[in-house]
Structure 1
C-alpha cells in the first residue's frame, strides 16, 4: 500500500528544545506520554512503516521553542538534505505576535515550507465557547496575522476541537484564498451519540467551504487501543461530509504510537475503505496529500 503520510513529526531531544517534551508534563488528550519522550527521526518512521510503500511525508511543527520559530525550519532543511524525509513541512508561527509578518515572510521564502500551524485558543467544552476570546480564531490580532498567509503562499493547518469549527468556517469565508487543512478529524473525543451529532454538524459547517480539507488522523482514545471498529463510523462520516477529494489519511506518528502501531492504524484505514474503488483509495492514502501540500512525486506514477 502506497502512503504519503500527511501528518508526522520528527524530533531530536538531545539537540533541540521542545518545551512540552523537555519540561514538566502538560495536559494531553491521550494521558501519559512518557513513551514518546525519545528521539524520533526518519529511520524510525521508515521502520514503523515497514510493509508499506512510504513515498513521502509532511512534517508538522512540533511546538518547538516558541522563542525561535525559524529554528525548526533550519533543522528540518538539514534533515531533509541528509535523510530524504520529510518532503515538505508545515512550520510554526504565532499569528497574534508582533513578529508574525517577519516570520511568515521568512516561511514563504523557504522552498519546502507549505504552510503554518498555530493552535488557536480553545474552550474546554462546547458550552464554554467565547466568541472573540484572546488568541482564538475570532481575536482581531489573530485574524490579522492569518490574513498574511495567502500573500506568502502559505496554507493553514488548523488543530482545534470541533466546537470551534463554526469560527473556522467564518475564517474560511473571510479568506477564501487560504487553504485550511483541519488536523485530526476535528478531535471527536466524545463518542456519545450527542457528542458525535455535534461533531458531524460542526464538520458540515466547515466542509461547506471549498477551501477546507481534513486529515483523518489522531483518532486515538485515552486508555483504549486503536481499532478499525471503533473508528469506522468517524472515518466514513468524514469522507461522506468532505468528499473523497478533500480527505487524507495520516499517522500523527510518533504521537499516535501511544494508541496503536503504524501497521494497526494504516491497516485499519485500509479495512475501513476496502469497498471503495482503488482510484479513491489512492486519493485518500497519497494523491490528495501530494496535491494539497504541493509535493513533487518524481518517479511515482
Structure 2
C-alpha cells in the first residue's frame, strides 16, 4: 500500500465550535447535521485505518477567535498523548494591526507549522466566508502575512478562482513564505464555465515558486 500524509484533517469537541453549536445556516458543504457532535482523534484514527496514511496535518476549525491559542494547545496535548497529529496549522486574525503578539503566543507549541485565516469570498452568499472579495489584499492582511517569514511559518491560502489574481499578488510579494492553496482552489461545480475559471486561476498561482496546491476537499 502506498504511504501518504493527510495534509488537511480536523478533529473537534463540539463545545469548542460556535458554528457546530449554533443554528444551522447555509454553507458551501451543504447540510451538516451529522457532524454536529464530537469527533475525537480516536475516531479519526479508526476512520483512516488501513488507508496508508502515516502522518497527518491538523488545520484550524474556526474556534471562537479569542480561543486561537486554546485550539493549538488542545492539538499539541492530543499529539503528546497519542502521537497524532504531526503538524498543526493554527488560526490568527490577519486583519489586526499587528499579528505578532498572537503568533508569539502560538510559537511555544512545537508542532505549529503555519496559520490559516479563510479569505474566500463568492457571489453566492452560502459559499462566502471573507468580509469582501479583495480582503486578500487588504493592507493589514498584507502587512501581517509579510511578518510570517520571521517565524518560518506557512500560510494556508483559501480562495475561489475569481480571487486568485489578488492571491498571486500576496504570494509574489512574500517569496520567503510558503503558501498552500487550501482545497485545491475551491472548485464549486463541474459546469464548463466554473471548471475553466478554476483551471485559469490555478495557472495564475502556479507561476509562483513558493506556491503549493493542497489536494483536499474535493467533494
TM-score normalized with structure 2 length: 0.90
Distance 2:185 2:205 in 1: 10
Is contact 2:134–2:163 with CA below 8 Å preserved after alignment?
Answer: no
* Counterpart contact for 1:137–1:168, Cα < 8 Å: yes
**Structure 1: how far apart are the matches of 2:39 and 2:4?**
19
2:120–2:158 CA contact under 8 A, matched in 1: no
> Considering only aligned residues, what root-mean-square deviation do their CA atoms show, in Å?
1.8
The answer for the alignment partner of 2:56 in structure 1 is: 57
**Aligned equivalents of 1:120 and 1:52: distance in 2?**
31
SS for the counterpart of 2:23 is coil
Q: Is the 8 A contact 1:185 1:216 kept in 2?
A: yes
Whole-angstrom CA distance in 1 between matches of 2:143 and 2:134: 11
Distance in 2, matches of 1:51 and 1:101, equals 41
Query: Secondary structure in 1 aligned to 2:143?
Result: helix
Contact 1:46 1:54 in 2 (8 A): no
Query: How far apart are 1:134 and its partner, in Å?
Result: 8.2
Instruction: Using the TM superposition, give the Cα deviation of residue 121 of structure 1 relative to its aligned residue in structure 2, in angstroms.
Output: 5.3
CA distance in 2, matches of 1:217, 1:133: 24
Report the CA distance between 1:51 and its aligned residue. Answer: 2.0
SS in 1 for 2:6: strand
Contact 1:96 1:135 in 2 (8 A): no
Answering whether residue 43 of structure 2 is matched by residue 31 of structure 1, we say no
Which is bigger in relative contact order (C-alpha 8 A, separation at least 6)?
1
Structure 2 distance, partners of 1:105, 1:97, is: 14
Structure 1 residue 133 displacement after superposition: 4.9
Q: Tell me the equivalent position of 1:178.
A: 177
Q: Which residue of 1 aligns with 2:69?
A: 70
Residue 7 of structure 1 is matched in structure 2 by 8
Cα separation, 2, equivalents of 1:10 and 1:99? 29
Distance 1:18 1:97 in 2: 22
Counting matched residue pairs gives 212
CA distance in structure 1 between the aligned counterparts of 2:122 and 2:95, rounded to whole angstroms: 18
Deviations 1:223-279 (A, max 9, x none): xxxxxxxxxxxxxxxxxxxxxxxxxxxxxxxxxxxxxxxxxxxxxxxxxxxxxxxxx
Seen in structure 2, the aligned counterparts of structure 1 residues 133 and 33 have a Cα distance that, compared at 3 Å, is closer
Any stretches of 5+ residues in structure 1 without a counterpart?
Answer: 126-131, 221-301
Q: 1:45, 1:212 → 2: CA distance?
A: 28
Q: CA deviation at 1:191?
A: 1.2
TM-fit CA distance, 1:190: 2.6
Distance in 2 between residues matched to 1:17 and 1:139, nearest whole Å: 29
Q: Find the aligned partners of 1:135 and 1:78 in 2 and give their Cα distance.
A: 36
Matches of 1:142 and 1:201 in 2, distance apart? 24
Separation of aligned partners in 2, 1:70 and 1:56: 23
The residue number in structure 1 matching 2:161 is 162
Secondary structure at the aligned position of 1:70 is classed as helix
Post-superposition Cα deviations, 1:107-128, rounded to whole Å, max 9, x if no partner, equal: 3343210000001252326xxx
Structure 2: runs of 5+ lacking an equivalent: 125-130
Compute the displacement of 1:7 (Å).
Answer: 0.3
Deviation at 1:153, TM superposition (A): 1.3
TM-score by length of 1: 0.67
Q: Distance in 1 between matches of 2:166 and 2:160?
A: 11
Decide which structure has the larger Cα Rg and report it.
1
How much has 1:174 moved relative to structure 2?
0.6
